[in-house]
Structure 1
């Protein structure tokens, strides 16, 4: 496969930014001031120019693409669908990650008995498998959760393009990253959310517990938590407190 595109800005320790269903520019709005002190490496997942096109969004492919980008042991910040490939890549080589900041991932299996989480999984998988043929009410509910700028009228062209790009993607319900490998290696983890959807809050609570990670909540920007008040300060504090993670030695079996 041809390589994906990355764009680097700033100087200092590297922070690898992995977007989800929205573009890097939309996802990471608000983090620009960090470039004064950090090297921000913006990943463009397949299907997002200038990276190569793809017939199908797939978190397993994302993990393969991300693996070589961990060679410099960056801090990694990932959002939504982008968290899935990030966790797979990090679990395969936890010593190559200084820290993980994980924002509102669709890891619905972590809250198996929660009816609101189950509903979120159902409508999310419907959008990925059916695209614009998804029940209109379910489609709009999912788009609002995902932070799409929609009202009561026709969907904007940019939103339609996003739905079409997501159509046929590998369903998030198939993702089972090796969280135990990340926790066992002692990777510092921050799990962040925007306090706009109870189901996502409970998923993030469960993920933080599974990874023995820190937890933070930043209302004000919906799903695009990176733009929420206070997030950039919380993130930079977390990065500075974890400058040189090394994996914990594992017992010989």
Structure 2
């Protein structure tokens, strides 16, 4: 895996944490208390130090290969966020026995609701930023960055950390290219939970459709925008789900909890 960085914190069953466009520190803030009873295993995707650089561009197909190696070595619970969900799902579909459960947070799986107007707008914004980067139309760029939870994107120059993140993400494989057979996971009985932060209608629609496709538990955790892990009460909901993670999806389907 070219020395892909994987950290371990805590004691107990492993929870592999797969971040998206933001690094593990920002993505998983709010879950620290779980390390008292679980082993948190944040993965650093390629291009995020101390992992090696990307092979040309960020690519969920490459992520899937990397993550497949991680999953097969541990058979963990997996919690994935945003772009990180794409590689996670591909790896899990390729080898369903490599994961104990899946918690999927606000993924850009546009194909699940591609005719929904809010999803169409979300895709347009995301594709623009990935294709044009800092040359994107300024107001649309700020709209996307706000949806993505980037700090300090109001009036005035964008923070240096934000501009660096936009440059890092530019030219990534577009999420609209993914097609994944979710029925494989549903048929294998992989327990799943789908979570969102109640801050953008298109994201909520995607998460609703994903939960239905997987017969997954559906959790809405407002208060932290795109960074749902930091929302009040989400850590407790996640731990409750993981503690019953050996239940079949038929035991937890069609449950929508607002925390």
TM-score normalized with structure 2 length = 0.93
2:175 maps to which residue? 172
Q: CA deviation at 1:191?
A: 0.1
Q: Give the one of 231, 238, 242 matched to 1:235.
A: 238
Structure 1 partner of 2:82: 80
Q: What are the residue-to-residue correspondences of 1:1-253 with 2, within 5 Å?
A: 2-54=2-54, 55-71=56-72, 72-149=74-151, 150-243=153-246
Native 8 Å contact 2:67 2:91 kept in 1: yes
- Number of equivalenced pairs: 246
Looking at structure 2, the residues matched to 135 and 153 of structure 1 have their Cα atoms a distance apart, in angstroms, of 15
> C-alpha displacement at 1:244, in angstroms?
7.7
User: 1:95: how far off?
Assistant: 1.2
Which string of whole-angstrom CA distances, capped at 9 and with x for unpartnered residues, describes residues 75-128 of structure 1? Answer: 000000000000000001111111000000000111122111001101101111
**Residue segments in structure 2 that go unaligned for 5+ positions in a row:** 249-259
Runs of 5+ consecutive residues of structure 1 not aligned to the other structure: 246-253
**Counterpart in the other structure of 1:249:** none
Partners of 1:186 and 1:152 in 2: CA distance: 48
| Counterpart-to-counterpart distance in 2, 1:102 and 1:30 | 16
- 1:16 is paired with a residue whose SS is strand
For 1:160, what is the secondary structure of its paired residue? helix
- Match of residue 250 from structure 1: none
**Contact in 2 for aligned 1:98/1:244 (Cα 8 Å):** no
**Aligned residues of 2:191 and 2:247 also touching (Cα < 8 A):** no
